[in-house]
Copies of this chain bind each other. A is one copy, B any other.
Amino acid sequence: MTKTAKRKGDAGERAEEHDDEARFLERYRPGVYPRPSVTVDLVVFTVIDKLLHVLLVRRSEHPFKGRWALPGGFVRVSDDRTDQGEDLDAAAHRELLEETGLSHTASANVFLEQVRTFGKPGRDPRMRVLSVAYYALVRPTLVPLIRAGGDVSHAKWLDLSELTGRGAEGARAKAARGELAFDHADIIDAALDRMRADLDRTAIGFELVADTFTIQELRAVHEAIRGEPLDPGNFRKRFLRLIDDGIIEPARGKRPTASKPASVYRFVREAKRSTT
């Protein structure tokens, strides 16, 4: 076979394959293999009184009726080839909107990241359900706006230390975990691990402070996430390096405190590339 002949052959083959596949899709009908239901569940974090909290909503329906659970819901899908439904990230955003009552613009400013998918058989007693878990970071300024489906009594912020207490408090923590619906305690654990790992690799710390913030406010967030105090002086030094890197910049004004007023800074969304 000559080179040109081969080339022609290849092109012909490829076109033929394409037609072949188009015909296949035309005739294709989804089989009858059983499928799982798929939900998106959100671990919504915020910092209240310098402590990390998770958003829980009370279940109004079976199963686990009356128990506290993570906000979430079923992913909208379809086999329609021109519209297969919503993306997973979009589903997470939609659930955040629906379950928290946040406005569209407010919820669009919320950081969302997929953790992983939970699928242990039996985790939902009704049927086989997979849960794609996300974690969300909500600025404390948005917290007062949150209502579970418009009903405050059906939403609460749980102090995370009540779930992870060890030693003497371990028993209470274990009980609190048991009060959660499904395997949601495990999902919270995984989300927390992921967020902690992300904290010193990415810029997620800025997602939990207001638009402008003081160094001590940012430190409080890091302390809440890590669950241990950080040296103020050393934290400041690491922080100031971020200014040189163009990650943050000084903002106008001062923040009044219990003592000396503190300088405020702003997170620069697109970090300038260093020119060195």
A residues with a Cβ closer than 8 A to B are 17, 20-21, 24-25, 28, 30, 33-38, 62-66, 74-79, 81, 83-88, 114-117, 119-122, 125-128, 130, 132, 197, 201
- A80–B121 CA distance with the chains assembled, in angstroms: 10
Min CB–CB distance A15 → chain B (angstroms): 13
Please provide the 8 A-B residue pairs with the shortest distance between their CB atoms, ordered closest to farther. Answer: A84-B121, A24-B62, A35-B35, A88-B119, A79-B127, A84-B128, A77-B128, A36-B77
> Is the beta-carbon distance between A130 and B78 smaller than 8 angstroms?
no
Whether B20 and A65, one on each chain, are in contact in the complex, defined by CB atoms closer than 8 angstroms, is yes
Given the interface pairs A30-B126, A36-B77, the reply to whether A17 lies near B63 with Cβ below 8 Å is no
Shortest CB distance A166–B (Å): 17
A132 to B65, CA, bound (A): 29
Q: Taking the nearest CB of chain B, how far is it from the CB of A79, in angstroms?
A: 4
Distance to closest chain B CB from A115 (angstroms): 8
- B35 A36 Cβ-Cβ under 8 A: yes
Chain B, Cβ-Cβ closest to A123: B84
In the complex the two chains form, what is the Cα distance from A35 to B126 in whole Å? 15
Q: Is there contact, CB below 8 Å, between A37 and B28?
A: no
- A27 — nearest CB in chain B belongs to which residue? B62
Instruction: Kindly state the separation between the CA atoms of A24 and B127 in the bound complex, as whole angstroms.
Output: 13
Q: How far is the CA of A54 from the CA of B92 in the complex (A)?
A: 31
Mostly, the A contact residues are loop
B residues near A34, Cβ cutoff 8 Å: 76-79, 85
A21 to B126: give the CA distance in the assembly, Å. Answer: 10
The distance in angstroms between the C-alpha atoms of A77 and B36, with both chains bound, is 6
- Give A230 to B74 CA distance when docked, in angstroms: 47
A119 to B74, CA, bound (A): 14
A117 to chain B: which residues have CB within 8 Å? 88, 114, 116-117, 132
Known: A35-B36, A74-B33, A116-B116. A86 touches B121 (CB 8 A): yes
Shortest Cβ distance from residue A60 to the other chain B in the assembled complex, whole angstroms: 13
Interface centre among A36, A116, A120 (most CB of B within 10 A): A36
Give the distance in Å from the alpha carbon of A76 to the alpha carbon of B38 in the complex: 14
Query: Are A36 and B75 neighbours in the complex by a CB distance under 8 Å?
Result: yes
| Contact partner, A88, options B25, B78, B130, Cβ 8 Å | B130
